[in-house]
Chain A
Amino acid sequence: MRKKPEEYLTGNLCAMIDVVFQLIIFFVCTTQLQDQSKDETIRLALAPHGVVVDKKDPLEITVDVNIKGVISIGRTPLSPDLLTRILKKAVKDSRQPVPVVIRGDFDTRHKSVKDVMDACAKAQIWKIKFAALREKA
């Protein structure tokens, strides 16, 4: 018996479709969209013995300081005075110490980081964290 033309082209695709959907689920679960707010040009220094961040504190403010000394939060450049006002408002709104994480480039001069630390001091924030790389991907 001669096969119909369409029978030559069909095959059992069920297994392949299952694998495709599993791959999609994997990538949907592992895609991280929230990190796009951070400045990707900042190269963090290596600190293999630092504390690994498991859970992000919702009150946490991440301040980026790039190699040129530009201070920013969420890719928005800020002056030290504006940063001070933002931190003061955050402390006033939350009524508790706000954790501040400073993400500085390896080659950033300390005087730029000092501006951020001084802004934290003016906002009565004495506990500061420095972000570093525990492991390079």
Chain B
Amino acid sequence: MARKRRRADWHAGELNLTAMIDLAFQLLSFFIITAHPSDVISQLNVFRPSPEQVRKDSDLPDQMIKIQLLVDGAAINDRPVNTKALGSLLQTLAKDDKKQTVLIICEGESQHGRLIEVLDLCAKVGLTNLSVLSAAVGGH
């Protein structure tokens, strides 16, 4: 009788997986709740001229595009423009020479986002020689 009971109770290779499945579901719930789609980040390279370079290159390059970012707008080569016109002007200028220097002068109170927009426009038309300067504030 005891031998029969032992055979009835013994099952080959049985393992209680209940706890493991519970843990698996908990892990899954954690990752589902904490997962979020990440944004694709891009980077825009600029060059900030060093004081030595400014002294060395005392003469400005012949072909240079000067973009001024003002608080309430923008200007290219001292000509006021809006973003759309700026894009088409840069495209026209880039057709001549993509390696020409682009000098972006930002006013202190201008938005950083507008600087990114201008840098993006330059990247779009293939202008890679970009320098960013800050406009003098209060005369210093």
The chain A residues found within 8 Å of chain B, CB to CB, are 13, 17, 20-21, 23-24, 27-28, 30-32, 35, 44-53, 65, 101, 104-114, 117, 120-121, 124, 126-137
Contacts and interface: CB of A to CB of B under 8 A. Distances in A.
Interface string B100-113: 00000011111111
A111 B38 contact: no
Most B-side CB within 10 Å, residue of A32, A108, A111: A111
B24 A21 contact: yes
Contacts of A46: 116-117, 120
B134 A131 contact: no
Interface residues of B, number: 45
Contacts, number: 165
Q: Specify the main secondary structure of chain B where it touches its partner.
A: mixed
Nearest to A115: B134
B31 A31 contact: yes
B116 A47 contact: yes
Contacts of A134: 39-42
Nearest to B25: A20
B35 A27 contact: yes
B43 A129 contact: yes
Contact of B42 (A21, A47, A65): A47
